[in-house]
Amino acid sequence: MRSAQIDFGVYLAKKVGAALVSFVFLLIVGYVIFSVMPSNPLEALTRGRPTSAGQIAFLRQQLGLNEPEWERFVHFVWNTLHGNLGYSWQFQEPVSTLIEQRLWPTLLLMGSSTIISIWLGMWLGIRSGWRPGSILDRVSSGVSLGFWSVPTFWLGLILLVLFGVGFGPIPALFPVGGMSTPGSAGGFDVSHIVDVLRHLVLPCLTLVLVIFAQYVTIMRSSIIDELGSPYLLTARAKGLRDVEVRRKHVVPNACCPRSPSSSCSSAAWSAARSRWRPSTRGPAWATSPTRRWRSPTCPCWRERSSCSAPP
Amino acid sequence: MTLRLLAPVLFLAAACVLAASPAVAVASSSSSGSGSTLRIEADTAFGTFNPFTAYNQADLNEIAVIYPMLTQTGENGQPEPYLATAWSISPDHLTWTFKIRSGLKWTDGVPITARDVAWTYNLIMTNQAAGTANGSLVQNFASVSAPNATTFVVRTKQPQSNVPYLTNMIAIVPEHIWQNDVTDIGTFKNMNFPIVGYGPWIGAGYSTTNQDATLTANPSYYLGAPKFRTLIVQYFTSSDAAVAALRSGELDSIDDLTPTQYGALKGDKNIALYASQSNSWNAIELNPGARTLSGQKFGNGSPLLQVPVIRQAIALAINRSELVSKVADGLAVTGAGFLTPAFPQWWWTPSASESDAYDPARANRLLDAAGYTMGPGGVRVDPKTHQQLSFRLGIHSDNGYDSLIAPYLEEWLQAVGIKITVQAMSYTELNTELPKGDWDILMDTWSTDYDPSYLLSIESCGTLPPNLSTPGNTDAFYCNPAYDTLYNQQLTEFSLPQRTQTVDQMQSILYAANVDIILYYPDTLQAVRTDEAKNFFFGTKNEQGFYPQQNQWINWWSATPVAAAASSSSTGAYIGVAVAVVVVLGGGGFFMMRRRSTAGERE
C-alpha cells in the first residue's frame, strides 16, 4: 500500500514537473515571439494623435517600456502567475475581464454549433454509410463536403444576405448584428431568450454548415467498414429488423475505433438515449480472446481502456 | 423510431420558425419600432466613456454628445458658442476670456458653472493620467481660472490663435461627480449609468457583448431635445455586416462606406446615399533623408530621393485623376494641397505654373536634363553613383486600396525610367519601419480636424525625433526652416484671412517639396434609411454633388423620425414563416412516405 502511494507520488511529481516545464516554455516562447515582432506600442498608440513629449514619456513609463528587457520578462511571468494577464489599451480593461465577458457568448455559440454539427453529421453519416451510393449518401456527402470547402466568413456573408437582408422571395428572417437586440432588457425572461436565439441562428448555422462534414465523413466511412462484418449476418439471421441491426450493433461498433473523441462522446450520448444493448457479436477487433466485448453495461468507448470483459 | 428521429429535426425547424417569427421579433425588440430609436453604426469598438483617456472614435463621438465643450464646430466648420456664449482675447494676445452660459444644469440638477470648466482644464494640465487624451492641446496654456460662475479665463504662454478650435475638443465634466474619481482616473471607465453630464443625449447604457451604447434624449438641452427618444450606437466588426444591417432595417445610418458598398446600395428605395467632402487624403511619402533634430542621419532610405528633381519627376509621372476614376470609382477629389477640401477655408490648389499634374513627358525631360540616363531594363541610372533609380514602395497589406494603387504607380514610374518594388507590410510593421527611416516610398493617409495645426505640424522640424531611441511625430522627416517660420506665424495670427494666407504659403512649400504627394481625397460616403429618419444631413451639395463635411453631433441631434408606415417587411416575414412551415411539413411528409415505402425492406 505504502509502495503504491510512493509510486503515485512519483508519478504525480513527474506529471506536475512536466506540466511546469511546458508552462515555463510556453511563457518564454510567448514573450520572445511578441518581443521580436516588429512593433512599437508607443508609435501604434500615438500615431495620428497630437502627443507631447511629456505624454510619450508618461506612456513609456506606464507601459513599462523604459525597463530593461529581463525586468519586463520577470514582471510578465510574475503577473501571469498571479492571474494578471495584462491590460488592453484598446478596450481599457484587464485582459482577464475581457475574457470573462466573452466566455459565455463563446460557449453559447461554439457549444451549440458543435453539438448540432455532431448530431447532424452523425445522423447523416450513419444513414449515408448504411446505404453507400444512395441518393441520400450522394447528396449528403456532396453537400457537406461542398460546405466544408467554403470559407466560413464568406458563407456567413452569403447567409447574411439570404436570411438577414432577404433576397428575391426570401424575406429578412434573422437579425444580422449583435447577440441581442440593442437596448433590450436582458435577463432570463422568455422574450430575451428568444431574442438571443434569433441572433444565434445565423452564426450558428454558418459554423454548423462548415464543420458538420467532418462528422458525416468519419461516421460514413466507419459504418461502411462495418458493413461486411459477420456479426451483421448473425443479427439478421436472428430476425432483427434492419434498423435495429444498424442502431444497436453497427453504430456502436463503428463509432469507437475510428472516431475522434468528440464523436465517441456523442455516440455515448446517443447510446444513453437509445438504451444500447450489446451486439450479438462484437466487431472484428473484439473477437480476439483478450478483447471480447460482452458487458451489457459498458459503453464501447471505454472497452479498450478500462472495462472488464468477462468471458 | 420515425418520430423519435424526426423529433430533433422538427424541433430545430420549429425553433427556426419561432425565432424568425415577426411576432417574436416585435416582442423582443425594443428598437424595431420606427420613430423612437435612431440606430447608428459606431466607427470603432468602444473602450471607455472617460473623456480624459478616450481616443477610440466611437468613444469620442459618444462623449461629444453627453458632455459639453466650451465651443462647438458649426455647420460652416468654424467655432461657435456652446457652453461659452462669447469669447475675447486681450490686446497682448495671451489671455482668452470665455463667458459661460448661465442657467444650464447637469443632468442631476446641479448648475453648470465656470468652476467646472476650470477644474476640468486644470486637471488635464496638472494630472498626467488625465492628460492622456488631450494633454497636448493645453501645452501652451500657462494657467486657467474661474473668477466667477460665468467667466472662464485662459492664460497662454505664447499667443495662440486656435484656442477656440481646441476648446471644442475638450469635454467639460461636473466637478462634484468627478472629484472622487481623480485617484484612478487613468483606469476609470465612466460606465456608471445614467452618466451625469450635459448634452443632447444622456449616456444610459453599454453592452459589452453587443458592443452597443444606448443614449436617451436630454429634454433640457438648450437647443431643444433631439427628436428621437433613444440613440443606439452599435459596433460591427465587419463593415459588410453593417451594410446588411442597414438594408434589413437594423441600422438607420452608416458613416463610412467603401465605394463598392456605396455602389451596391444604389437603387434601394429606402436608403439615401450621401457623399460628403473629404477630411482625409491618400498619398505616397518619399523619404527625403531620415535624421534627428540634431541632424544625425539614420535609416537605409535611398539617397536619390533626397534629390528634388527626382521627387518632382515622380509627382509628374503619376496620373492622379485616373486613380480617382479607377480606384475610387470617381468618389474622390484629385489630390493637390496638403489640407483637405472638407474645410474650404484651408483648401488650397496649386496655380498653373506650380502644378505638377500628370505630365510624363515633362518628367522625362527633367530627368534627362539632370543627367539620369536610361540604363538596362529601361531604368535610369545616377551618373555619379551609377545607382539605378530603383525604389521600394511600402504598402499596407491590410488596406485593399494600397494594393489597387501600387500597380498603377509601378507602370507610370516605369514609363519615366524609375523602378518600383512593392513591399506589402502590415499596418503595424509599416508604422514600425517609418520612424526607423528604413524605407524609400510609403503609402500614407491622414485625416484632419477643423483646425489644421496638428496636420501642418507633422511636417515641421520640431517633430523630427529628438534622438535615435525616441520617435518623433514627424510624418516623413521633412524639415524646412522657412516652413517652420510660417507654421509658428499662423499659430499667432488671429485674423482668419491672414492665417489662411499663411497656411496657403505653407501648402505651396509642401507641394513643391514633393515629400508627400497627395493622390486623392476620398469622399466620406454615408447612407441613411429614409423610411426611418429625415433631416439627417445638412448643407447644400456643391457642383460636384458633394455635401459639406458632416458633423455627427448635428446629424444625430437634427435627425427626425419618419412617421411609421405599414411595414412591408412584416408581410415578408409572414411569407417567410409560411415558406418555412411548408418546407418543414413537406420535408417531414416526404420523409414519412419514404419510411413507409421501405418499411417492408426494413422488416
For every one of its 311 residues, what pLDDT tens digit does chain A have, with 9 covering 90 and above?
678 888 899 999 999 999 999 998 998 898 888 877 766 777 767 766 677 777 778 888 888 888 888 898 999 989 998 989 988 887 888 999 999 999 999 999 999 999 999 999 999 999 999 999 999 999 999 999 999 999 999 999 999 999 999 888 888 899 998 899 987 777 788 899 999 999 999 999 999 999 999 999 999 999 999 998 898 888 888 888 888 889 888 988 887 654 454 544 444 444 334 333 333 333 333 333 333 333 333 333 333 333 222 32
CA distance B74 to B72: 6
* Of the residues B493, B522, B551, the one at which a domain ends: B522
Q: Comparing C-alpha atoms, which of B65, B185, B55, B67 is closest to residue B133?
A: B55
**CA pseudo-torsion sign B480, B483, B487, B493:** positive
Do B303 and B446 lie in a common domain? yes
For residue B208, the chain A residue with the least C-alpha distance is: A101
Cβ within 8 Å, pair B247-A165: yes
Cell of B154: 485662459
B32 touches chain A (CB under 8 A): yes
DSSP type of residue A167? B
For residue A197, the chain B residue with the least C-alpha distance is: B19
Alpha helices in B167-285 (DSSP H): 175-178, 239-248, 259-265
Do B264 and B148 lie in a common domain? yes
Q: What is the pTM of this model?
A: 0.80
Do B402 and B427 lie in a common domain? yes
Q: Model confidence over B396-434: pLDDT tens digits?
A: 987 889 999 999 999 999 999 999 999 998 877 787 778
Cβ within 8 Å, pair A198-B20: yes
CA distance A187 to A239: 54
Using a CB-CB cut-off of 8 Å, the residues of chain A touching B165 are none
- B residues 308-347 lying closer than 8 A (beta carbon) to A: none
For residue A161, the chain B residue with the least C-alpha distance is: B244
Residue B506 counted as domain residue: no
- For residue B11, the model assigns a pLDDT of 56
CA distance B474 to B287: 12
Region of residue B146 (phi > 0: left; psi between -120 and 50: alpha; otherwise: beta)? beta
Residue B499 counted as domain residue: no
Do B131 and B114 lie in a common domain? yes
- For residue B591, the model assigns a pLDDT of 57
DSSP type of residue B205? E
DSSP type of residue A164? I
Do B272 and B284 lie in a common domain? no
Residue B264 counted as domain residue: yes
Please list, in sequence order, all residues whose beta carbon lies within 8 angstroms of the beta carbon of residue B546, skipping any fewer than 6 positions away: B275, B276, B277, B333, B341, B523
Residue A222 amino acid letter: S
B205 touches chain A (CB under 8 A): yes
> CB of A235 within 8 A of CB of A245?
yes
Residue B498 counted as domain residue: no
Measured between CA atoms, how close is A170 to chain B, in angstroms?
A: 6
Q: Which residue ranges of chain B lie beneath pLDDT 70?
A: 1-35, 564-603
Please list, in sequence order, all residues whose beta carbon lies within 8 angstroms of the beta carbon of residue A185, skipping any fewer than 6 positions away: A192, B30
- For residue B12, the model assigns a pLDDT of 57
Using a CB-CB cut-off of 8 Å, the residues of chain B touching A65 are none
Strand partners, B529: B271
**CATH classification at residue B265:** 3.40.190.10
* Of the residues B470, B497, B522, the one at which a domain ends: B522
B211 touches chain A (CB under 8 A): yes
Cβ within 8 Å, pair A183-B205: yes
Do B238 and B386 lie in a common domain? no
- For residue B447, the model assigns a pLDDT of 87
For residue B428, the chain A residue with the least C-alpha distance is: A39
Cβ within 8 Å, pair A195-B136: no
> CA dist B52 to A176, A232, B133, B137, B562, Å?
34, 74, 6, 12, 37
* Of the residues B477, B501, B522, the one at which a domain ends: B522
Long-range contacts of B374-383 (CB under 8 A, 24+ apart): B374/B417, B375/B417, B377/B419, B378/B414, B378/B417, B379/B417, B379/B418, B379/B419, B380/B416, B380/B417, B380/B418, B382/B304
Do B291 and B410 lie in a common domain? yes
Cβ within 8 Å, pair A54-B242: no
Do B518 and B533 lie in a common domain? no
The three state secondary structure string of B72-106 is EECCCCCEEECCEEEEEECCCCCEEEEEECCCCEC
- For residue A255, the model assigns a pLDDT of 74
Residue B425 counted as domain residue: yes
Please list, in sequence order, all residues whose beta carbon lies within 8 angstroms of the beta carbon of residue B418, skipping any fewer than 6 positions away: B310, B313, B314, B317, B379, B380, B389, B390, B391
CA distance A165 to B115: 51
Using a CB-CB cut-off of 8 Å, the residues of chain A touching B48 are 92
Residue B311 counted as domain residue: yes
Measured between CA atoms, how close is B463 to chain A, in angstroms?
A: 10
**CATH classification at residue B294:** 3.10.105.10
Residue B577 counted as domain residue: yes
Cβ within 8 Å, pair B446-A241: no
Do B258 and B312 lie in a common domain? no
Using a CB-CB cut-off of 8 Å, the residues of chain B touching A201 are 16, 19-20
Using a CB-CB cut-off of 8 Å, the residues of chain A touching B247 are 165
> CB of B232 within 8 A of CB of B40?
yes
Do B159 and B174 lie in a common domain? yes
| Domain count across chain B | 2
Do B238 and B345 lie in a common domain? no
Domain that holds residue B255: 13-20+33-276+524-601
Cell of A157: 456573408
> CB of A163 within 8 A of CB of A202?
yes
Cβ within 8 Å, pair A195-B29: yes
CA distance A21 to A9: 18
Cell of B284: 505616397
Do B146 and B62 lie in a common domain? yes
CA distance B367 to B257: 41
Kind plus residue range of the DSSP H or E element containing A93: strand A93-94
CA torsion A276→A277→A283→A288, rounded to 10°?
130
Residue B46 counted as domain residue: yes
Kind plus residue range of the DSSP H or E element containing B428: helix B427-436
Using a CB-CB cut-off of 8 Å, the residues of chain A touching B454 are 50
Question: Strands A87-88, A93-94: parallel, antiparallel or unpaired by DSSP?
Answer: antiparallel
Please list, in sequence order, all residues whose beta carbon lies within 8 angstroms of the beta carbon of residue B471, skipping any fewer than 6 positions away: A40, A42, A43, B435, B465
> CB of B580 within 8 A of CB of A170?
no
